[in-house]
Structures are given as C-alpha cells and as structure tokens.
A = this chain, B = another copy of it.
Amino acid sequence: TVKRIGIIGTGIMGADHARLLTSAVSGAAVGGVFDLDTDRARGVAESSGGAKVFTDPYALINDDDIDAVLIASSDATHEDYVLACVAAGKPVLCEKPLAPTVDGCARILEAETAYGSRLITVGFMRRFDPGYTDLKALLATGEIGAPLMLHNVHRNPAAVPGMPSANLITNSAVHELDITRWLFDSEITEVAVHTPRPTGNSGGTRDPQLLILTTASGVLSDVEIFVNARYGYEVRCELVAETGTVTLDAPPPTSVRRSGLHARELPADWRPRFAEAYRLELQDWIDGTGRGATAWDGFAATFVAQACVNALESGERYTVEMPAIPGLYRRQ
C-alpha cells in the first residue's frame, strides 16, 4: 500500500520533496514528475526510482497511477493545478502560497467547498517543526498562563536587489502570519508595519520591516522580516505568556571553539533549518493524518498578507476584515 505521488515542479523544493518521498518517508513513492524543463524532470525521476516523466501537468494529475499530487511549481500556477486536483478528486499538497491573490484563494475555497470534503493541504511546514510543536504543546499545558505576545525574527542572507518591498511580506513573513494563527488558534484582526531606514544592501527595497499583528484573542505578534541580513538564515521567536516565556532558537547539536570564538553555526538557508519539518510534513500527508494547513489556512495567510501590504504602503494600522470561515473548515 505505497502511495504514488505526482510532483509538479522539480526545482529546489520539488526535487527535495522527491528525495524525501523516495528515501525517508514510509509508504510513499514518486509515481510521476512534471516540469517545464523536461530534462530537469527526467533527472529527478531517475533519482526517484524511475518515476514516469510527464510533459503535461494535467495528464499527471489525471493519471490513474497517481494517487496524490504535490505542487512545487511557480506561485502563479498553483491555482490552476490545485483546481485540477480538486476536479480529479485527488489529495494535493501545494507549496505556499495556495495562490498569490485573495481572489485566487477564494476560487479554490469555492471549488473545495463544492466538492464537499478536504483534499487540499498547504505547505506551511513550520507547523511540523519540532520547535514550534514544542512551543504549542507547552502553551497547551497552561504552565505559563495565557499568551500575550510573540516576538518573531525571520532573516535571510540575501534577496534580489530592488525586489518589491511587498515581497518581504507575501513571500517570507507569510510563514509568521500562518504560525501566529496556528499557535494561538485565532484569526489576525489588525496589522501595522513599521520600517527603519533600509539596509544599504537591499538595492532600494524597504528591508527590514517590523510587522505588528493582533489576534482576535488579543495577542500581539511582532515580526522582524529581514531578507538581506547577510550573516545567515535564522528563524526564532519568543512567546510571552502571563507567568513565563518560551524561546525557540533551535541551536545545532554542536558548538566550536576556534579563533577566539565559542560559536554555533547558522545555516545558509532554510533547508537545513526545516529539514525535519519537511520530512514530518510529508509523512503526515502520506499518513492522511490531516494536521497540515488547510485551504482555509492558505486563504487566510494570503488575505492577511495583503492587509499587511496595505499597511506597509499607507503607514497606518489596518483592520483585517476576513469573511466567515466555511463550515467545511470548522473544527469538529
């Protein structure tokens, strides 16, 4: 009973998912791959135990030998592929964002709601990171009281010079938007964005930024997003509750003393930091446990990200007026 997964998009993320499904996940195999670059698809197919190479993504989605679909293609293509999966009645794991626009996400919600049961998972892998799950578990014990604040830091070493300032929110901080919603089980109702003078290394992009999010439950979550931090990749947070705090910093297992420093290494990008999260996300998806983000979560992330972009541009606090959650996505 091995599930045969079809992968659409075999860039860095898609290839890595193929590797995990082939070599580190129980009960899965890569059944087919599609990429605009067929040579690249062929390479991934070969290292995935001889998966079939498709030249038409819709053929992959509708192939009887494909049990479920993983979408890791460019953001703009997500909507069409996800809708095709829903039409085919196939489970689909779509890398974030579910769709880049609120309207696109809404059309997906409509389709899945019409279908009548959940097929879609959105790849917010941090929900599977052992650090974040520790944080949530510790909060649930009640030992540190009710949550009040969350301080987040999200840094990448380098980004494309001069890229749109909104991208820091829609591409990067969107992970913290999702984590804030997930950790506190509460929607984000107000946002504001503050910015210092930009780093000299961003080519004009307003980088870094400080997002201020307020949840319906009254928690304040601030997010430093800095995509040209140069020194390395880092995601950290500190949860402040009524009688204690929890810090997630995920230190590596070893430290080195050399050249006058006692140091722990920081990763160069997000993959080593979240390697275990990706593995657990895929295993959970294959197992059908359903702990991953739903289409509603994907919609909400895009909706709040758009509100943050508005707040960045206007410089003012912005109330987030999200539509009501469809019944399909309410917790039982």
Instruction: Name A residues whose Cβ lies closer than 8 Å to a Cβ of B.
Output: 2, 22-26, 28, 129-131, 134-135, 138, 143-146, 148-149, 151, 153, 192, 194-197, 199-201, 208, 210, 212, 214, 217-220, 222, 224, 226, 229-232, 234, 238, 240, 242-266, 268, 276, 283, 287, 315, 317
- A146 CB to closest chain B CB (Å) equals 7
The CA-CA distance from A195 to B229 in the complex, in Å, is 28
Beta-carbon contact of B253 and A131 below 8 Å = yes
- A216 CB to closest chain B CB (Å) equals 10
Beyond A134-B252, A224-B149, is A231–B246 a contact (Cβ under 8 Å)? no
Q: How many copies make up the complex?
A: 4
Beta-carbon contact of A131 and B254 below 8 Å = yes
Residues of B close to A261: CB separation below 8 A? 231-232, 261, 263-266
Sampled A-B contacts (26; CB under 8 Å): A138-B254, A143-B258, A144-B256, A145-B230, A148-B197, A196-B214, A197-B218, A199-B242, A201-B242, A210-B222, A222-B222, A224-B240, A226-B240, A229-B240, A229-B245, A231-B258, A231-B261, A245-B258, A246-B256, A247-B257, A250-B253, A251-B251, A260-B266, A261-B261, A261-B264, A262-B264
CB nearest neighbor in B for A209: B220
The CA-CA distance from A276 to B279 in the complex, in Å, is 12
Residues of B close to A201: CB separation below 8 A? 242-243
CB nearest neighbor in B for A137: B254
The CA-CA distance from A316 to B266 in the complex, in Å, is 38
CB nearest neighbor in B for A238: B153
The CA-CA distance from A194 to B149 in the complex, in Å, is 11
Contacting A253 at CB < 8 Å: which of B24, B134, B283? B134
Beyond A24-B283, A196-B149, is A232–B260 a contact (Cβ under 8 Å)? yes
- A41 CB to closest chain B CB (Å) equals 21
The CA-CA distance from A145 to B201 in the complex, in Å, is 10
Beta-carbon contact of B200 and A146 below 8 Å = yes
- A239 CB to closest chain B CB (Å) equals 9
Contacting A245 at CB < 8 Å: which of B196, B222, B244, B256? B256
Residues of B close to A129: CB separation below 8 A? 253
The CA-CA distance from A259 to B143 in the complex, in Å, is 11
Residues of B close to A256: CB separation below 8 A? 138, 144, 244-247
The CA-CA distance from A242 to B197 in the complex, in Å, is 11
Residues of B close to A315: CB separation below 8 A? 317
Contacting A246 at CB < 8 Å: which of B195, B218, B243, B255? B255
Beta-carbon contact of B252 and A208 below 8 Å = no
